[in-house]
Each structure stands twice: as C-alpha cells, then as structure tokens.
Amino acid sequence: MDMNLQYSVDSNTGLMRLNFNKKIIESLHPDDKSSFEKFILPMLAMNDKLLLTGSLSLKLLGFEPMEKVGDFDLGLTEEFTEEDYNSIKNFFDLKDAKEGYSWEEDEKRIPKFNPKSHMWQLYKEWVEKNNDGVDKNMYFKMDIFSDEMIRKKDIINVFWDDFEIKMVHPSITLSYRMRYALDSRSSTSYKYWKRMDEFMKDAKPYYNLLRLIQKMIMRTHEHNTNIEDDNKKLIYLKQLVKTREKNMDSFITTAFPSEQLDF
C-alpha cells in the first residue's frame, strides 16, 4: 500500500517518528499548497494551541483524495484568547468574517473578539501574478473551532521535514460531520448527510487505513520507549497494543462479517 506516512529514525538518538511522504504536500492543489505553506504552517509554528483538523487533515492522512480543500480548519488544545486572535489576525493581515456586521456608523467596522464563540472565521483576498504574468485572484479562508479542546490522546503527530504537525484523529472530524448531518436546523445538513451516507456505504477502507496508522503510531511509541529503556512503560504499551488490536479486529469482523481483514 502506498502510504502518506512513513517512518524515519534519528541517526543521533535512534528515536523513531512518523513523517509525511514527500510527494503528499506536492500533490495538493497549487492554491491549497500555497495557502498551506504561506498561512497554515506558520500559524501552527506560532501558536502550539492550534492543530490541523477538517478535510485537509483527512487528505494528508490518506482518508480522502487530494482534491481542492476550500476552507482550512484548525482545532484547539487550549483556550483561544484575544491575544491569540489578534496575533494571528494582525500578523497575516487577515479579516474577520463578521467584519461590518451589526455596527453603528460612528464605530470602527472592526469586530470585537468574543471568547464564547464556537468558532472564529478569518480570511484574506489578494491578487498575484500567475506564470503567464496575468493577475490571479487569490482567496484564503480558515475556521478555528473551539467547541471542544482536543485531548492529547486524540492528536496524531506527523513531521513535515523537521516541523511537527499536530492533527486531530479522523474520528473527531467525521463525528462533527455526522453531527451536522443530523441537525436539520443547519442549511448544510443535507450536504453532510449525503457525504456521510456515501461514507458509511463503503466504510471498510477507512477502518483498514485507520488500523494501519494506529499500528504505525504504536510501533513508534514502542520503539522509542525501548530506546529510552523505560521497561515499565514498555510493558504497558505492549498490553495497550494487544488490547487495541483485539478491539479493532473484533469491530471489523463484526461490522463486516462477510469480508476478510485486509492485513
């Protein structure tokens, strides 16, 4: 199987980590690749509260085809403050999607930070020359979700070169899609219903890939624990691996009784 993830070992420490396959970022849509390198990677480096979620995280992990992303989604591991908001907004010269809404004429048309928002939407529009010297309208939009703080156990860490990218576990992203699909108050309910209906009709590839990624993560933890000579932790990890393998195998054989495990 051609994986988006691969192992690498530090020649000095012997520690193992997961890296993105080099061709993965290159296979992004050119506009998405540009936005990823110009905005997303620097933001993740600036603020370690942020992590990648949404469709881009699914694409990078191999759960969805590398088609155009649209909106970029970021999650949080800690509370997002007004200082965090202003730092990102001002540094990248972004606009708030609420700009211009519900303001009196004598007030500046700059939205106030609301710490209780379930998400913040920021965007930027600009023009740049393409390879033919023709003006091209560029657009970047991102959502920062604060519905819940992502727990450490729900984070997948993968390196791009020497930079560690934190991504939410795919089950979290899909659970939110299902929530939108089942909430008829939303204008996007049917769109997400169709998407999740198609997903559930052919869900086995998702579970097989998830099983493989989990194996890779646990192998990395086990290898590094062995290098660090932490015998107590190593015993715990080996038991955890067995338990999770048993649970995953049990789920797949129950959910797909007429099919065999792929690996």
* Sequence ranges of the domains in the chain: 5-168, 202-263
pLDDT of residue 18: 95
pTM recorded for the entire structure: 0.87
Q: Which residue from 138, 120, 182 is spatially nearest to 38, judged by alpha carbons?
A: 138
Q: Are 157 and 166 in contact (CB under 8 A)?
A: yes
Contact predicate 141/56, CB 8 Å = no
Residue 106 in tokens: 């004598």
Write out pLDDT tens, residues 135-168: 888 899 999 999 889 999 999 999 998 899 999 9
Give whole-number Cα distances, 173 to 37, 58, 189, 259, in Å: 22, 8, 15, 26
Query: Is the model's pLDDT at 62 over the cut of 80?
Result: yes
Tell me, rounded to whole angstroms, the distance of Cα 111 from its chain centroid.
Answer: 27
CB atoms within 10 A of CB 92: 16
Is the pLDDT assigned to residue 115 strictly greater than 60? yes
Amino acid code (one letter) for 223 = H
By mean pLDDT, which of 9-23, 40-54, 187-201, 244-258 is the weakest?
244-258
Q: Out of 7-11, 101-105, 220-224, pick the least confident.
A: 101-105
Class of domain 5-168: alpha beta
Read off the pLDDT of each residue in 72-79 and give the average, rounded to a whole number: 96
